[in-house]
Chains A and B, each alone.
Chain A
Amino acid sequence: MRKTLIAGIAAGALIAVATAIPASAADGDAKLSVLHAVPGLTVDVYVNNALTLDDFTPGTLAGPLELPAGTYTVAITAADAADASAPAIGPIDLTLAAGGNYTAVAHLDPAGKPTATLYTNDTSTLAAGQGRLTVRHDAAAPAVDVLAGGAAVISNLSNPGEQSLTLPAGTVSASVAATGTTAPVIGPADVTVAEGTNTIVYAWGSLEAGNLALATQTIDGLHSNPGGVPAGEAGLVATNRPADAAPLWAGAAIILLIGAAFGGLRLRRLASAKADR
């Protein structure tokens, strides 16, 4: 296939490649990842008619590409195509905003026909300790629920929709079932929801062909930090401690001790009262 390209493409095409994917990332560039989620089909991906992903296999995530804001034409061809003129999917125009984070997914539509969807990835900051879980339906299958701990956490998600949750960081045992049912068509599978990370789970494949699967993509660095370290409560080592503070604290300790003694006494009385019965 490379041979075909060498034979068939003049120097102008080389310049087209250079303009399609800029040499260096710049401030404000958009990020574009590409997920191949069409079962059983190795493809080539062309961006603005320039071959960008050669022999791209299903279940593979590529990128992110750093691209200046703008509109890009993406065509997905069979892996042995000579150019982008007869795409299997597309061509589709992807409009990328400055600083945006995107994933273009080649996948099956509900009827099992190859298509492509551009998703915008949520990179907003998460609270300390939290993670984001995004689920995208890219499978030839009816609407689904996502179940965790036996309950639906995402309901009635249909191809090519997405839903997002914010969760305490941890591992979620998740399964996918047809909407309104609980019998898994995928999973259960352990999904790590990492702190400060958008974990994107893609349901892909075909229900009819029996090859439904999950793919994941993570976007990290979305964390925020604890807002303080409250590491003292008594003033025992304060630089503004009153000179007579020590006797005061001794007094407080004695009061606490007395309280503890009475508490203990009361417990013993209760115990003996029970024993008497």
Chain B
Amino acid sequence: MSGIALAAATLLLLAGCAGGADAGQAAGSNSTPTVTATETPTPTPTPASGTGAAAAPVIPDVPRTDASIGAAAAAPTVVPVRVEVPDLGVDVSVAPEGTDADGALALPSDPGIASWYRFGPSPWSAAGSTVIASHVDSLEYGIGQFARLTDAAPGTVVLVTAEDGRVERFVVQTVDVEAKNGIDWATVFDRTGPPRLSLITCGGEFDYSTGHYLSNVIVTAVPDA
């Protein structure tokens, strides 16, 4: 981190004054739009010394963009279409999903089709947690393949295939069973920080009166170096 801070500080020096926003965003992992470079020690430019020195006027280097409509179109997110965990015999297709009527992640009722949160990162995004979830079971379809995720050992390989055919390889780091009422969803769906994959299903105890599991199984995997 100190290396990054130093790099950011150097950038700020080079940029003179107003480059702080860019440098901070490049180095930081903040999710809010208003925080920039606040933790980065920034040098104060030394005022020009002497009188009548032939220094050019200090005009701040303010970033400029072409505001024409469509000029700043963001690159489309690469859509994942398939998840495999070969060691566990998991091989499901993936559909892009948003939220349901309750504001929770929408999931296809068929456990053979996993849900990718399409507003968050994908495995080919520069940063953040890709969330792919699938039903552990269904009254109509029975037990789903993601039920096997609790058997994933650290190091287990996870493969995600994109619609254009490219494959990203991840390795499992942790498998957690967490009570649903204690999960920090801002962390699970974090759009910043190192690229990572969160495979989610349900597990733990079942509340037979409400028809819901009390916990989520969250498998965290990182890109295979």
Taking Cβ atoms with an 8 Å cutoff, the residues of A that contact B are 2, 5-6, 9-11, 13-15, 17-18, 21-27, 31, 35, 51-54, 56, 59-66, 99, 101, 123, 127-129, 169, 189-192, 194-196, 201-202, 213-223, 225-241
Contacts and interface: CB of A to CB of B under 8 A. Distances in A.
B176 to A, nearest CB: 13
Contact of A62 (B20, B62, B69): B62
A131 to B, nearest CB: 10
Contacts of B124: none
Given A128-B99, A239-B204, A228 B213 contact: no
B174 to A, nearest CB: 17
Contacts of B36: 25, 66
Interface residues of B, number: 86
B43 to A, nearest CB: 7
Given A24-B12, A236-B143, A228 B180 contact: yes
Contact of A232 (B24, B59, B135): B135
Contacts of B105: 226, 228-230
Contacts of B72: 216, 218
Nearest to A168: B98
B142 to A, nearest CB: 7
Given A18-B58, A25-B37, A232 B202 contact: yes
Interface of B: 12, 17-18, 20-21, 24, 31-38, 40, 42-45, 47-48, 50-60, 62-74, 98-100, 102-105, 107, 117, 119, 131, 133-139, 142-143, 146-147, 180, 183, 185-186, 188-189, 191, 200-206, 208, 211-213, 216
A51 B57 contact: yes
A21 to B, nearest CB: 5
Given A5-B57, A21-B18, A99-B34, A232 B48 contact: no
Contacts of B52: 10-11
Given A65-B18, A66-B20, A239-B205, A232 B51 contact: no
Contacts of B185: 225-228
B147 A237 contact: yes
Contacts of A53: 62, 64
A239 B31 CA distance: 36
A63 B64 CA distance: 6
Contacts of B103: 127-128, 226-228
A85 to B, nearest CB: 16
A226 B67 contact: no
A123 B143 CA distance: 43
A54 B60 CA distance: 9
A64 B31 CA distance: 17
A22 B17 contact: yes
A172 to B, nearest CB: 12
Contact of A24 (B37, B64, B200, B208): B37
